[in-house]
Amino acid sequence: MINSSYVDMTDKVVLITGGSRGLGLAMARGFAENGAHVIVSSRKQEACEAAAEEIRAQGGSVLALPCHVGDWSALEELLEKALAWRGRIDVLVNNAGISPVAPSSAEMTEELFDKIIAVNFKGPFRLSALVGEQMKQQGGGSIINITSTGAIRPEPAYNVYAAAKGALNIMTRSQAMEYGPTVRVNAIMAGPFWTDIAKSWREQADRDSPSAVGRIGRPQEIVSTAFYLASPTSSYTTGAVIQLDGGLL
């Protein structure tokens, strides 16, 4: 029998970066609907507020905290404001990411390279370090990194993005060792999902998907995996990278 704590997130404080749309918003809704206090963070204030208003209208407890995760110096302030709200963070979801493409490696600019690495790897590294230390002090917690199957199926158009997500997979395992046993660190390695970020290619990808389920994922389908990793149900799961892609071969 599955423990009811699998979906009961009552009074858990959950910080989600990239939480104003796509997979992040789906997880924010799910956690709030199941009793969590959710902190929605993304780069733009208005996007955070819009997501927070939507969740609040459904009876959820939510705080909008804008932050550019690629800015190393901004992350301490994010943590301070989050702690000022509820005094702790029980779950951190490093979901923020960007995947701009370049025509070729030679045409990749240093500015774009640094931006991709900053948002997809440097920011999650620093925020996990800050929150991981806080979680250790409070007696435990769960960090969930959202990575990509691009890390194991890289293509020339997004090779830097894929490299950053591969680094995030490695960081997941190393920080699980660093912050264990009380803090668990895991990753969800997501395949293609039907989000607004994917609107230029999602319909064709959905029709032509080579996955075992014959389509791409829907945002709500990441929520149960996030619940599992956030809850005591997964108490023996740490350093894991869970592939969530509908069975891509």
Cβ neighbours of residue 33 under 8 Å, at least 6 residues apart?
58, 60
Taking CA 144 as the corner, what is the angle to CA 141 and CA 150, rounded to the nearest 5 degrees? 165
Contact of 219 with 182, CB cutoff 8 Å: no
Q: Of 161, 179, 228, 236, which one is the catalytic site residue?
A: 161
Sheet holding 13-17, edge to edge: 61-64, 37-41, 13-17, 91-94, 141-148, 183-190, 241-244
Report residue 66 as tokens. Answer: 């804008």
228 is catalytic: no
Contact of 83 with 101, CB cutoff 8 Å: no
Contact of 132 with 170, CB cutoff 8 Å: no
Side-chain half-sphere exposure of 27, counting CA atoms within 13 A: 32
Give me the active site residues, please: 161
